[in-house]
């Protein structure tokens, strides 16, 4: 898609009437959308509309995909995934800060304003702090380890019960347990201990 020009938003030359060829929003806080500075791009109402349009376009680009939600079966693991997503979002938003020349802008009409990208980054930092604090407070790793150990104990009890039920001689039980453990490791893709 070709970059938009000021002329796409009504900017025209006073002498020829030809559409303005400058980049949309040139010399304004909303580069990429709306008229350039020469054609009224720094008028407060235009700035607000253009920045809102840019934010809407960004949101459509980021969030335009359909959401496929499923019930949470393991809330502790889901919280760990959420923490990872929060950190990934913070890292992605920090990339927008790298493109900024300054964290704020000033106009004669509205004074000094912090850029929206900075506000979004600060919110991402706050969200990360909240989720990571929740993880630490809930001792998620300990709980997950306990759940995995409980599952392992349950499998061991089921194997022992099956061996007793099959009347396997006591001297053959250790071999049967080793074989069961080897099979479980293969099923689990080698991730079992």
Last residue of a domain, one of 21, 37, 69: 69
Whether residues 5 and 51 share a domain: the answer is yes
**Residues 6+ away with beta carbon under 8 Å from 165:** none
Is 167 within a domain?
yes
**Residues 6+ away with beta carbon under 8 Å from 32:** 3, 4, 23, 24, 25, 54
Instruction: Tell me the two tokens of residue 38.
Output: 């020469």
Is 193 within a domain?
no
Residue 189 has pLDDT above 70, yes or no: no
Q: For all residues of the chain together, what is the average pLDDT?
A: 84
Is 192 within a domain?
no
Is 122 within a domain?
yes
Whether residues 8 and 56 share a domain: the answer is yes
The listed range with the strongest mean pLDDT (34-38, 56-60, 159-163, 171-175) is: 34-38
| Confidence band for 193, pLDDT divided at 50, 70 and 90 | very low
**Residue whose pair of structure tokens reads 């979004």 in the numeric block:** 120
Last residue of a domain, one of 97, 114, 138: 138
List pLDDT tens digits, range 63-96: 776 666 788 888 888 888 999 999 999 999 888 8
Whether residues 94 and 65 share a domain: the answer is no
| Confidence band for 192, pLDDT divided at 50, 70 and 90 | very low
| Confidence band for 190, pLDDT divided at 50, 70 and 90 | low
Is 4 within a domain?
yes
Is residue 80 classed exposed, middle or buried when 0-12, 13-18 and 19+ CB atoms within 10 A define those classes?
middle
87: helix, strand or coil:
helix
Whether residues 1 and 23 share a domain: the answer is yes
Crossing angle of helices 140-165 and 173-187, rounded to 10°: 130
Is 13 within a domain?
yes
Residue in 193, 115, 109 with CA at minimum distance from that of residue 155: 193
How many folded domains does the chain comprise? 3
Whether residues 93 and 130 share a domain: the answer is yes
Residue in 90, 101, 158 with CA at minimum distance from that of residue 129: 90
Find the radius of gyration of the CA atoms of the chain. 30
Is 63 within a domain?
yes
Is 121 within a domain?
yes
19: helix, strand or coil:
strand
**Residues 6+ away with beta carbon under 8 Å from 38:** 6, 11, 20, 22, 27
Whether residues 155 and 132 share a domain: the answer is no
Last residue of a domain, one of 98, 118, 138: 138
Give the lowest-confidence range in 50-54, 123-127, 141-145. Answer: 141-145
Whether residues 152 and 183 share a domain: the answer is yes
CA dist list (Å): 110 to 48, 105, 136:
11, 10, 42
Work out the widest C-alpha separation in the chain, in whole angstroms. Answer: 103
Whether residues 32 and 12 share a domain: the answer is yes
Whether residues 113 and 163 share a domain: the answer is no
Range of the domain at 158: 142-187
């Amino acid at each position: 898609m070709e970059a938009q020009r000021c002329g796409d938003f009504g900017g025209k030359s006073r002498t020829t009437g030809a559409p303005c060829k400058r980049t949309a929003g040139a010399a304004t806080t909303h580069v990429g959308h709306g008229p350039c500075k020469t054609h009224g791009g720094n008028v407060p109402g235009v700035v607000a509309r253009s920045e809102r349009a840019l934010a809407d376009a960004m949101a459509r680009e980021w969030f335009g995909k359909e959401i496929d939600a499923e019930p949470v079966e393991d809330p502790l693991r889901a919280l760990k995934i959420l923490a990872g997503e929060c950190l990934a979002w913070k890292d992605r938003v920090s990339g927008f800060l790298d493109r900024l020349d300054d964290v704020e802008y000033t106009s004669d009409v509205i004074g000094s304003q912090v850029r929206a990208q900075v506000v979004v980054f600060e919110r991402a930092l706050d969200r990360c702090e909240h989720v990571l604090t929740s993880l630490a407070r809930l001792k998620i790793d300990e709980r997950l380890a306990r759940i995995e150990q409980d599952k392992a104990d349950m499998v061991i009890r089921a194997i022992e019960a099956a061996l007793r039920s099959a009347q396997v001689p006591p001297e053959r039980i250790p071999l049967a347990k080793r074989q069961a453990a080897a099979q479980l490791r293969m099923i689990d893709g080698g991730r079992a201990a």
